Structure 1
Amino acid sequence: MKRIVFLDYVRVFACFLVMVVHASENFYGAVGSTDMAGPQSFLHNEADRLWVSVYDGFSRMAVPLFMIVSAFLLAPMKEGQTSWQFYRQRCLRILPPFFIFMILYSTLPLLWGQIDSETSMTDLSRILLNFPSQAGHFWFMYPLISLYLFIPIISPWLSKATAKEERFFIGLFLLSTCMPYFNRWFGELWGQCFWNEYHMLWYFSGYLGYLVMAHYIRVHLTWDRSKRFVIGTILMIIGAAWTIYSFYIQAIPGEVLSTPVIEIGWAFCTINCVLLTAGTFLMFSCINLSKAPRLVTELSKLSYGMYLMHIFWLGLWVTVFKHNLELPTVSAIPCIAVSTFISCFVTAKIISLLPGSKWIIG
């Protein structure tokens, strides 16, 4: 299948933003000893508050961008393809590397004392149930797999749906992305209560909305390149400003804070994150090159493996730039992210030269 050039750029950009997010978490999620944010957060000073808000807030489009790319390529299924053929292709593509790295995250940290043998055995015993304790970033794999499971179910509707019908779905999805704010301001609504979390718009919420949005952009959106870029830029700026400010206004330095509370605007299915993601994707869709530079294509092909392994490298560069060199936050976060990104690319490229590398890095 011929490569869609702008999607390669989106993949590379999203992969780098994931590393920016996790680099930033070391400057507010450090109540515990992990490199990832925990249930409580603590910001040491105003510089941490500002630059975590900016870097991490802007980068929150990373996960939805990956979802949109997958949906753009895969939904609806190819004509004549059965559900089981689709599932088989997707499983062979993502599950072997996923399980290999689950084992690696459950065992390798023993070598440098990050976990003990009891934790390792617990993580290994729970591999079929959830991600290992040192691989919090693997949460993403489960909604991605869920999206893959649902594509054969929604494909018949997508194949026949009109633009108006898809806009109706997207409109309800956008309304559902306001629920975190509605719940904070108004409490339980639309059927929510302590025995029922499934509110009226539950079935229009979540990452499925990004799937339908991706299909709408690919099939029904008729805007020319200039209009896509202008409207995309406006949406991106509004979404970025909203997402950044939502954290900044709540992240008071010197106080132990609830992470879910201060990250309310950083949830991936909030209206501001949708605006940020959709705007950025529209901007990237304006790239009309016939072929991407070789480096971009290589990075795109290796992005899955880079995502899987990046936490292994992240801790090293946090130690170098935050603890040893003690760089200011404004420069430490991008230095950690860039170094992690380069290290992952080099590692994934070396692995890709080995026989059977697709089973390790996809």
Structure 2
Amino acid sequence: MSKRIVGLDAIKGIAMFLVVLLHYSFYTRYYSSGLAGTAATVLCVVCVPLFFLVNGALLLPRERKPHHYRGVLQTILIVLAWKVIAACFFVFVDGGQQVSFKDFLLFLLGGQLGNYPAGYFWFMNALISIYLVYPLVKQAFDAKDRGPLFVVGAVIFGFTVCKDTLKLLLQACGMMTGHELASLLGGLSEFYIFGNYGYTLLYFISGGLLYEYLFQGDGESVRISTKWDVRLSELFSRRGLLAAVALCCYVTTFCIQRFQNATQGANLIVLDGYWLLPTYIGASAFFCLLAPVHFGIAPIRRLVVTVGKNTFGIYMLHMFALTLFSKLQQTDMLAYMDKMSGFAVTIANVCWVTFLFACCCCVSIILRRIPIVGRIFSL
């Protein structure tokens, strides 16, 4: 049984909370689209990168488990079970539209379920794809010559982070000069073979490499270094520097969102946010800042570990909770929120997100203890 890295549990819990917050902003009647609401949702741009950083940290530096593809098959079966549950929930509980058997099969194979809000399964599709090529990535990671690994990482970095950041700069230049310039990069996708979610592999590899700088240990026996900045002294001398880097990246991302809002009408979200350089740097800095934290106070540590163990269950349950909550908002019970100011309603919404997050966590904790049922919460 491997020792849990509590800092990684904390990162998973925070990332999961940001996922719920982001999706909540899309499916609520009372969410401020002004500066206060946007300031909250811009934080969510790091949620997906953090999850893939953690997955890379947990898998790449450790010894590869035997029967890897048996585990992948189990993951696929669990995700398929959740897709069946989700389809039944949205059709029979939400009930906004009918879906055909072909639509259902398309959903099982990675597509959408009509117009129902089931698109969040893309994350599991991307994660399974990484699991399928994991042995190859692991072999490159363990090799004495990591040149091939860095080449792959550099290619993905160039065609995602660099390309989309440059595209954003060209959009800004085009606005100032009156010429459309961003389309110049449109043809570069012809040279890129990793698809729309190739950047997730970049974060996965980065998580494994960052783990090596933060921790010491071999295989399954992981020992957290008592020296916070072990092997990072050349890059980061103090936690304050990491916090400052993360904050600067957040401010930069917020400015990018306001630019996209003014020029493209983007509301609350950051277009191509996961691909941008501030996101990559900010997520990596946050990962390095929080991963080594021990949480010495026992109750806090237990809470962090409990949430970390149940992030998969929360992820699978949160859209059900948001759908039911949106129906509750159609009643007069929450009509008071319509009269609140932008800042006040944002605070109220964060409180509601915390409540829904806690409810999903409690349900996950209870259900994973039930024989057979608990197996679909075990990822």
TM band (smaller chain): 0.7 to 0.9
Match of residue 342, structure 1, among 340, 358, 368:
358
Aligned twin of 1:199: 191
Match of residue 239, structure 1, among 249, 254, 279:
249
Cα shift readout 1:248-301 (whole Å, capped 9, x = no counterpart): 23325xx994679x73252x1221211221111011123035776222222111
> CA separation of 1:217/1:157 partners in 2, compared to 1, >3 Å: closer, same or farther?
same
CA shift at 1:131, angstroms? Answer: 4.3
Aligned twin of 1:351: 367
CA contact (8 A) 1:20 1:334 kept: yes
Unaligned stretches of 5+ residues in structure 2: 171-180, 215-230
The amino acid of 2:309's aligned partner reads K
Match of residue 101, structure 1, among 57, 82, 86:
82
Unaligned stretches of 5+ residues in structure 1: 31-43
Give SS of 1:197's match.
helix
CA contact (8 A) 1:90 1:148 kept: yes
CA shift at 1:124, angstroms? Answer: 2.1
CA shift at 1:207, angstroms? Answer: 1.6
CA contact (8 A) 1:178 1:271 kept: yes
> CA separation of 1:169/1:105 partners in 2, compared to 1, >3 Å: closer, same or farther?
closer
Aligned twin of 1:124: 104
Aligned twin of 2:176: none
Residues in 1 aligned to 2:328 and 2:256: alpha-carbon distance in whole angstroms: 30
Identity, % of aligned pairs? 19
Matches within 5 A, 1:260-275: 263-266=270-273, 268-275=274-281
Residues in 2 aligned to 1:264 and 1:189: alpha-carbon distance in whole angstroms: 18
CA contact (8 A) 1:5 1:289 kept: yes
The amino acid of 2:282's aligned partner reads L
CA contact (8 A) 1:14 1:65 kept: yes
1:187 aligned onto 2:182: yes
Give SS of 1:286's match.
coil
Give SS of 1:198's match.
helix
1:75 aligned onto 2:81: no
Aligned twin of 2:177: none
The TM-score with structure 2 as length reference comes to 0.76
Residues in 1 aligned to 2:163 and 2:27: alpha-carbon distance in whole angstroms: 29
CA shift at 1:344, angstroms? Answer: 0.3
CA shift at 1:242, angstroms? Answer: 1.8
CA shift at 1:340, angstroms? Answer: 1.6
CA contact (8 A) 2:36 2:346 kept: yes
Residues in 2 aligned to 1:211 and 1:109: alpha-carbon distance in whole angstroms: 32
Q: Which has the higher contact order (CA 8 A, sep 6+)?
A: 2
Aligned twin of 2:33: 48
Aligned twin of 1:86: 68
Aligned twin of 2:120: 137
Give SS of 1:150's match.
helix
Residues in 1 aligned to 2:326 and 2:253: alpha-carbon distance in whole angstroms: 25
Aligned twin of 1:37: none
Aligned twin of 1:62: 47
The amino acid of 2:270's aligned partner reads E
CA shift at 1:70, angstroms? Answer: 0.8
Cα shift readout 1:281-337 (whole Å, capped 9, x = no counterpart): 011123035776222222111110110110010133345569723424322431331
CA shift at 1:157, angstroms? Answer: 1.5
Match of residue 325, structure 2, among 317, 320, 331:
317
Aligned twin of 1:248: 258
Q: Cα RMSD (Å) of the superposition?
A: 3.4
